[in-house]
Amino acid sequence: MNIVVCVSQVPDTTTKIAIGADGKTIEKSGVKFILNPYDEYAIEEGLQLKEKFGGTVTALTVGNDSSKDILRTALAMGADKAVLISDSVNSDTFAIASSIADYAKTVAPDIIILGRQSIDYDSFAMASMVGELMNLPSISMVSSWTINGTSITAERDIEGGKEVIETSLPCVISAQKGLNNPRYPKLPDIMKAKSKPIDAVAGASVPARVMTVSMELPQTQRRGIILNDSEHDITELVRLLHEDAKVI
Amino acid sequence: MAIHGCDYMGIYDLLSPEEKMVQESVSDFVDNEVLPIIEKHYQAGTFPMHLAEKMAELGVFGITLPQEYGCAGANNVCYGLAMQELERGDSAVRSFASVQSSLVMYPIYTYGSEEIRRKWLPKLASVQAIGCFGLTEPDFGSNPSGMITNAVKIDGGYLLNGAKMWITNGTLADVAVVWAKFEGKVRGFLVEKGMKGFTAPEMKGKHSLRASVTSELVFQDVEIPEENVLNVEGLRGPLSCLTQARYGISWGAIGAALACYESSLNYAKSRIQFDKPIASFQLVQEKLVYMLNEITKAQLLCYHLGRLKDAGTMRPQQVSMAKRNNVDIAIQIARIARDLHGANGILDEYPIMRHANNLESVRTYEGTHDIHTLILGADITGIQAFS
Ligand SMILES: Cc1cc2nc3c(=O)[nH]c(=O)nc-3n(C[C@H](O)[C@H](O)[C@H](O)COP(=O)(O)OP(=O)(O)OC[C@H]3O[C@@H](n4cnc5c(N)ncnc54)[C@H](O)[C@@H]3O)c2cc1C
């Protein structure tokens, strides 16, 4: 089975994010980047498929030189090879999806697996876009699934319940948290990953279709206030709701 | 991230991708597997045996030894980072790894015949076999050269008599690397579980390193076959192993200090007294800054030591400096953290008292604090002050 797993690099969840001077991007200096946590499920799923059906797992990312670290993590977890597709400067989800699709068409994967979202920009759109651009069926946020020959039955989480979907290979799926238990890279495998190849591929030169206008941080330091039931407190409550919270 | 949320001087950026991954992998392992269960084992005074298997699967045993023996073949900075993370969990977990890797697999690899290597290393790496290291005796701790345990030649091998004390993993061990005198010279013997005349009763009643098994080793006319003798003579043998383990302990101590510092920083920011987080008080800030400062110095010391070790230029005295300094500051930090947490500092909900107690053992074993002072003193003055 020819398995492609798409991974992305995101700021470490413990990083304090600051907005860049242009007001549209995050300040990258001093930020530690990690493998997007949802992509760990995607890689694990790819590795389990390989263990069951044989084949190869290719980890792919659209990024720059600094994205090599997450590819090495994927290789250390057990991916056979990695592909680094160069990213253009102002790319949006569509531009990145185009790069992935262009590359994927050349290797004709049986399945493309992604994380359900990148925890940086949270567009949730990548799996559907890649599927569409490749003219393949896609199922997003898969929480469990089975493969029988070339047919797939997948369960996905929907608001307040579950949905069961059938389709067939080749297809694109995105992994929901809990799909599996991602393995830790084992120390000997980390060392072996050094000699696995990372291929460099030029990205699609597709212009971005959406533009970020501005970005701001959520208000921090919201503190709860406890009032009692005296007359004074009630007056204070009304004042707070009116003047501070501006809800009445 | 790398230096687990506390990397004031940006050491993470100096690490290779492999080093970063090793640290992250072991760090995740500690968060997910060690921290949730370790307090229970500490209280019960039991070693979490299932963790040994998981550590083996992760590949932490004999981490620097070649892959052909089932090991990771990583460098010494990777080894150090792994030890740091394990001890952020608990000194007992790190001790298990230190003994298995530096005190058992290292001498077997360095001084064992190819046959002995093939027999033991893959089993020790996968923890199908557990090892221990017997140097200390009831009457000879800091002065191992006075050891009484001895061997005499018999047909086809040696006859071993004597006793060792304070031996980590002794009761669990399938193979003991035992140092004994033969014709006045210290030699290393592999004593296997089940050999006639060999017993290893557990020592009870520890207030420190409670999640680690500590034992006596008793030898009564134990017959050791010729092939189980290591190819090294004199105290140089055991001391070379101790250099490996002390190197790992220097990193490990940072892990224990980090656990105390991180808990202190969080606690200071959230504990309100006099209507303010206690982190608002100058005295509390001074404590936190002291911790950060000492941890940062210890990190730089270890990072550099690791690079020296990988370059093959590290001297044992430099390891003494790191072990002495880092364990000392880790204990200071644990004590200050205990104070800063108030009453909560004695509770098992926080890792503080466990680390503080554990570090008392770490200060003593592998050369006491003062013995390392004397090693450094002798090195710079040229005058030996041991006796
Ligand atoms: C939990 C634990 C696990 C251990 N695991 C192992 C193990 O796996 N294998 C093993 O072989 N050993 C092990 N040890 C033993 C450890 O290495 C010894 O305890 C250590 O070497 C010190 O020896 P001692 O306890 O006999 O102290 P002593 O040597 O009696 O020292 C007592 C005090 O005197 C001081 N002192 C001694 N000589 C001098 C001097 N010349 N000048 C100034 N001060 C001096 C020391 O610094 C110390 O403060 C372990 C110990 C502990 C606590």
DSSP string, chain A: -EEEEE--EEE-TTSPP-B-TTSSSB--TT--EEE-HHHHHHHHHHHHHHHHH--EEEEEEEE-GGGHHHHHHHHHHT-SEEEEEEPPTT--HHHHHHHHHHHHHHH--SEEEEES--TTT----HHHHHHHHHT--EEEEEEEEEEETTEEEEEEEETTEEEEEEEESSEEEEEPTTSS-PPPPPHHHHHHHTTS-EEEEPPP----SS------PPP---------SSHHHHHHHHHIIIIIS---
Q: Is residue A61 scored above 90 in pLDDT?
A: yes
Pocket of ligand 1 (CB under 6 A): B 99, 133-136, 141-142, 166-168, 209, 214, 361, 364-366, 368, 370-371, 374, 386
Quote the pLDDT of residue A119: 87
Q: What is the pLDDT along chain B (387 residues), one digit of tens a residue?
A: 344 568 999 998 899 999 999 999 999 999 999 999 999 999 999 999 999 999 999 999 999 999 999 999 999 999 999 999 999 999 999 999 999 999 999 999 999 999 999 999 999 999 999 999 999 999 999 999 999 999 999 999 999 999 999 999 999 999 999 999 999 999 999 999 999 999 999 999 999 999 999 999 999 999 999 999 999 999 999 999 999 999 999 999 999 999 999 999 999 999 999 999 999 999 999 999 999 999 999 999 999 999 999 999 999 999 999 999 999 999 999 999 999 999 999 999 999 999 999 999 999 999 999 999 999 999 999 999 998
Contact in structure between B324 and B368 (CB atoms under 8 Å)? no
Per-residue pLDDT at A222: 64
**Ligand 1, atom 48: closest residue by C-alpha:** B368
Residue B2 is predicted with a pLDDT of 40
The strands making up A2-6's β-sheet, listed across from edge to edge, are A161-168, A151-158, A138-148, A171-175, A111-115, A2-6, A56-63, A81-86, A198-201
| Structural domain boundaries in chain A | 2-202
Give the residue, B216 or A24, on which the prediction is more confident. Answer: B216
Q: With contact defined as beta carbons under 8 Å apart, do A171 and A136 qualify? A: yes
The answer to whether the bond into A170 is cis (omega within 30° of 0) is yes
Query: Which residue of chain A comes nearest to B17, CA vs CA?
Result: A69
Q: In this structure, which amino acid lies at residue B102?
A: S
Ligand 1 center–CA B165 separation, angstroms: 10
The CATH superfamily label for domain A2-202 reads HUPs (3.40.50.620)
Burial B76-100 (b: 16+ CB within 10 A, else e): bbbbbbbbbbbbbbbbbbbbbbbbb
Which member of A34, A69, A188 has the closest CB to residue B73?
A188
Question: Residues A113-140: what's their mean pLDDT?
Answer: 92
Sorting pLDDT into bands at 50, 70 and 90, what band is A221? low
pTM for the complete prediction?
0.90
Structural tokens at position A66: 């600094």
User: Which pLDDT tens digit goes with each residue over A153-207?
Assistant: 999 988 899 999 999 999 999 999 989 999 989 999 999 999 999 999 999 888 8
Q: CB distance from A87 to chain B under 8 Å?
A: no
pLDDT at B4: 55
Parallel/antiparallel/unpaired status of strands A9-11 and B150-154: unpaired
* Percent above pLDDT 90 for chain A: 66
* Cβ–Cβ gap A191/B28 under 8 Å: no
Domains of chain B: 11-125 (1.10.540.10), 131-232 (2.40.110.10), 237-381 (1.20.140.10)
Q: Residue B175 and residue B131: Cα distance in Å, rounded?
A: 5
pLDDT value, residue B3: 44
Give the per-residue pLDDT at B1: 37
Residue-averaged pLDDT of chain A:
91
B20: chain A residues, CB-CB within 8 Å: 69
